[in-house]
Structure 1
Amino acid sequence: MVDPSHEQAKRPVSAALAGPYGHPFHPILVTVPIGAWVGSLVFDIASHLVRDPDFLVRGAMWLIALGVIGALAAALAGFLDLFAIPPGTRAFRVGLVHMTLNLLVTAAYAGNFLWRHTDHRLAAGVGGGMLTLNAVSLVVLGISGYLGGKLAYRYGVRVADQTTQAEGFVPTHRPPGPTG
């Protein structure tokens, strides 16, 4: 028998804002901050390998800003997905930790952006503190991503139920019969 609270976590609170059943918006939106922040770390490291790092320093700063904006959009959809999970469950606790880590990472990157924006001594490449904050934030984001994967792939939050999933495994054509 299927637990009704488990089925509740598969349905969107608002299909218009969180994505329809089986197609949540949160997983696609998180690709923006992840890509932007990974790119910013690559630019930070590369800023120490070139003679004129200004374009990489500025590029990393703006990638961080793009990531913060993308993270805020992903957070809105993520909040709605969290509201679909029944409180008091293991999945809800994992969701709260996932959310908290993501908010801390977003705040760290917002602070990193402001630090870079106000520091005009970046002609020699990104400072060690800024690069370290970027790298540590990305590690914490990876931990949070692991928890997000646990919500979807282990607990099935916002994933279609097995009956719906089974539709994808119905043969589209009849296999050839025995020839005799």
Structure 2
Amino acid sequence: MFTAVRSGHLAAVLGLVDLLGIPRGTKAFRTGITHMSLNLTVVILFAINFAVRAGQDYEKASVFGFVLSLIGLALLGASGWLGGKLAYRYGVRVADEQTQREGFTGR
């Protein structure tokens, strides 16, 4: 679990660095803010979910915890889609064409 938490922190820091490199007032920046907000919401939802389920008996499933999981997963999916849009449509943190071309040469 601690490795996943550390990886999440690293991804958040690098994502913030990427976000700060996007010009303000652009579609890409607004998409990045939405992506970040959804990710923070997901973290909060799963922290609440953990707290709700932590003291429960494993044989009794919590309906509230299950609903929180479904909402969190739906938001995470939407955030992932926005992250893909940032990279593949807007080219955020993607190498320029010359650098990409150099990666496909035979040398």
Would you say same fold, with TM above 0.5?
yes
Deviation at 1:67, TM superposition (A): 5.3
Superposition pairs of residues 52-63 of structure 1, within 5 angstroms = none
Is residue 46 of structure 2 the alignment partner of residue 109 of structure 1?
Answer: yes
Shift of 1:72: 3.3
Q: Deviations over 1:112-153 (max 9, x none)?
A: 111122x23x23143222122112201110100100001111
- Structure having the higher helix fraction is 2
Quote the RMSD (CA, aligned, Å).
Answer: 2.0
Query: Structure 1: which 4+ aligned runs deviate by more than 2 Å?
Result: 65-73
State TM-score, norm by structure 1: 0.54
Q: Quick check: 98-107 or 132-141, which moved more?
A: 132-141
Q: 1:71 aligns with which of 8, 11, 16?
A: 8
1:134 is matched with which residue?
Answer: 69
Larger radius of gyration, structure 1 or 2?
1
Count of residues paired in the alignment: 107
1:162 is aligned to 2:97: yes
Unaligned runs of 5+ in 1: 1-62, 173-180
| Contact 1:109 1:134 (C-alpha < 8 Å) held by counterparts | yes
In the other structure, the counterpart of 2:19 is 82
Alignment identity in percent?
Answer: 47
TM (normalized to structure 2)?
A: 0.87
- CA separation of 1:155/1:149 partners in 2, compared to 1, >3 Å: closer, same or farther? same
